[in-house]
């Protein structure tokens, strides 16, 4: 739910007037904010030049107003509460009620004016990552401009010179403010609305946090050992799916503002990288991929045709990035019989639970493991066939033949045609050949157990 409200009154008005002047202050656009974590319907431009709007995963696009031919936006840097996934909220910093902040959409050649109000307890600024603009609008505190002090509003104004995919983030106390979630997406659409047309255009940022179990605020000094890896500050199963109609052309734009690279992988389809930080790639330079690596500070735009119906995984291929609240200090107990040890420890620590429980999955193990309040368990997504055992940087690309072209709602789980789902084999398993010695097998219940006879003679190699 969006709300509009006048921000300046009383003392706040006086502070801001010193930063931007009385004339500009009278013309401030209203502040638009939301606390919803759902993917909002793309914002169709009510005025200005036409474009095909993007859909921000678990996010939204910021409305604007036209003022004497200039597109005016109002960003508010402020503390926010973001639900990472059901069962966990984080106390972050962001813009206009959310982290990441709203996506800004403009058209190549637009004159853009962005009012930035600082409601943080410290100074800030905004850098328009990847943009061509006057040096004084680049947003590096101390180098290009004075820092925006708490209570002040600064104005950035420039022409959107280049179509492409961009980001915005602070260049003031950067490690703290970005670790707290201050970032947002920016899309400059081509002035030719027929340039590289797609049916659906998704955008989101990669971000990571280090939030101790039971707490709410990220550690801002962490460099490598993050425990929450997210798409647009949402961890699966809190991440919305991306949806498409069978046969549609789909573009997904991803920006990386974490501290490491991410190999982003799509199941069931191959794609081409059509855009980078520097702009659109030449068609002759593209080749099919199913994974593209996105380094720190980079952006990638990929395109593919939604050719196969189903629920297709879309995720970072670093396996520990598809986990939630993971610990880097838990010892590996695979192959270790922990029952006796667990009983002894439980007599001293009643809430103790050993990891790597024999015969149970991660999901089954977590059902009985008590967790501190406001803490996500690891890999708790559930699908139509049971536990997905994924979390963090994971979502689903849902392709349907009966989806309307402008419908972005979740269609539910895919109903696979009969005979098209992998199934359990209940017959006799094949014999095992160990260097010419055939081992008999036994089928006990659903578990296939193989008993290998000891060789009676020398093994042949």
Q: pLDDT at position 335, please?
A: 67
Tell me the β-bridge partners of 323. none
Least confident of 159-173, 248-262, 391-405, 434-448: 434-448
Average pLDDT over residues 53-57: 98
Tens digit of pLDDT for each residue in 187-228?
A: 999 999 899 999 999 999 999 999 998 999 999 999 888 999
Average pLDDT over residues 147-155: 97
Average pLDDT over residues 254-259: 96
Average pLDDT over residues 405-424: 96
Residue 459 pLDDT class (50, 70, 90 cuts):
very low
Cα dihedral sign, 84-90-92-95: positive
What's the mean pLDDT when you consider all of the chain? 86
* Separation of alpha carbons 232 and 393, rounded Å: 9
pLDDT greater than 90 at residue 412: yes
Residue 166 pLDDT class (50, 70, 90 cuts):
very high
Average pLDDT over residues 335-356: 63
Q: How far is CA 214 from CA 210, 219, 257, 384, in A?
A: 12, 13, 25, 30
pLDDT greater than 50 at residue 103: yes
Higher pLDDT, 26 or 392: 392
Residue 432 pLDDT class (50, 70, 90 cuts):
confident
pLDDT greater than 90 at residue 328: no
pTM, full prediction: 0.85
Average pLDDT over residues 60-85: 97
* Separation of alpha carbons 183 and 448, rounded Å: 51
Residue 249 pLDDT class (50, 70, 90 cuts):
very high
Percent of the chain with pLDDT over 70: 79
In our burial notation (b when 16+ CB lie closer than 10 A, e otherwise), range 57-82 reads: bbbbbbbbbeeeeebbbbbbbbebeb
The contacts of residue 160 (CB under 8 Å, 6+ apart) are 106, 107, 108, 109, 110, 112, 131, 188
Higher pLDDT, 84 or 4: 84
The encoded tokens of residue 373 equal 């309040």
pLDDT greater than 90 at residue 451: no
Average pLDDT over residues 256-263: 96
pLDDT greater than 60 at residue 387: yes
* Separation of alpha carbons 264 and 292, rounded Å: 5
**Which of 288-292, 365-369, 389-393 holds the top average pLDDT?**
288-292
Does the N-terminal peptide bond of residue 237 adopt cis geometry, omega within 30 degrees of 0? yes
Tens digit of pLDDT for each residue in 417-429?
A: 999 999 999 999 8
Q: pLDDT at position 18, please?
A: 37
Burial class (CB in 10 A: 0-12, 13-18, 19+), 300: buried
Average pLDDT over residues 10-25: 39
Least confident of 107-116, 117-126, 338-347: 338-347
Q: pLDDT at position 354, please?
A: 55
Residue 430 pLDDT class (50, 70, 90 cuts):
confident
Q: pLDDT at position 154, please?
A: 97
Q: pLDDT at position 353, please?
A: 55
Higher pLDDT, 112 or 344: 112
Average pLDDT over residues 10-22: 37
User: Is the CB of residue 279 less than 8 Å from the CB of residue 164?
Assistant: yes
Measured distance between the N- and C-terminal CA atoms of the chain, rounded to whole angstroms? 71
Q: Are strands 249-256 and 262-266 parallel, antiparallel or unpaired?
A: unpaired
Q: pLDDT at position 245, please?
A: 98
pLDDT greater than 90 at residue 345: no
The encoded tokens of residue 31 equal 């502040």
């Amino acid at each position: 739910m969006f709300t509009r409200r006048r921000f300046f009154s009383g003392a706040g008005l006086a502070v801001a007037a010193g930063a931007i002047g009385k004339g500009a202050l009278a013309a401030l656009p209203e502040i638009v904010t939301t606390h919803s974590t759902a993917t909002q319907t793309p914002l169709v431009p009510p005025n200005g030049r036409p474009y095909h709007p993007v859909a921000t995963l678990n996010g939204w696009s910021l409305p604007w107003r036209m003022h004497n031919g200039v597109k005016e936006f109002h960003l508010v840097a402020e503390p926010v509460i973001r639900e990472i996934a059901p069962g966990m909220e984080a106390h972050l910093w962001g813009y206009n009620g959310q982290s990441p902040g709203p996506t800004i959409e403009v058209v190549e050649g637009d004159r853009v004016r962005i009012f930035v109000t600082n409601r943080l307890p410290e100074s800030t600024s905004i850098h328009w990552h990847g943009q061509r603009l006057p040096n004084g609008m680049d947003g590096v505190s101390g180098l290009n401009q004075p820092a925006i002090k708490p209570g002040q509003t600064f104005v950035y104004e420039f022409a959107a010179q280049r179509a492409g995919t961009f980001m915005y983030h602070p260049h003031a106390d950067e490690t703290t403010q970005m670790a707290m979630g201050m970032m947002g997406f920016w899309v400059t659409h081509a002035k030719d609305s027929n340039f590289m047309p797609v049916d659906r255009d998704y955008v989101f940022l990669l971000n990571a946090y280090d939030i101790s179990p039971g707490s709410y605020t990220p550690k801002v000094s962490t460099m490598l050992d993050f425990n929450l890896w997210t798409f647009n500050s949402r961890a699966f199963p809190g991440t919305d799916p991306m949806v498409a109609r069978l046969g549609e052309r789909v573009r997904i734009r991803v920006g990386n503002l974490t501290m490491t690279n991410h190999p982003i992988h799509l199941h069931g389809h191959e794609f081409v990288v059509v855009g980078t930080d520097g702009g659109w790639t030449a068609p002759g330079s593209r080749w099919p991929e199913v994974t593209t690596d996105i380094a720190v500070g980079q952006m990638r735009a990929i395109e593919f045709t939604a050719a196969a119906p189903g629920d297709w995984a879309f995720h970072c291929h670093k396996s520990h990035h598809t986990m939630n609240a993971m610990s880097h200090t838990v010892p590996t107990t695979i192959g270790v019989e922990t029952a006796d040890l667990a009983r002894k420890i439980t007599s001293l620590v009643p809430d103790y639970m050993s990891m790597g429980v024999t015969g149970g999955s991660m999901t089954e193990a977590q059902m009985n493991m008590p967790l501190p309040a406001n803490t996500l368990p690891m890999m708790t997504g559930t699908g139509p066939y049971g536990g997905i055992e994924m979390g963090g940087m994971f979502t689903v690309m849902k392709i349907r033949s009966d989806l309307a072209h402008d419908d972005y709602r979740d269609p539910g789980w895919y109903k696979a045609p009969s005979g098209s789902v992998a199934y359990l084999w209940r017959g006799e398993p094949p014999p095992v050949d160990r260097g010419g010695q055939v081992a008999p097998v036994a089928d006990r219940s659903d578990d296939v157990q193989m008993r290998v006879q000891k060789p009676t003679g020398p093994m042949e190699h």
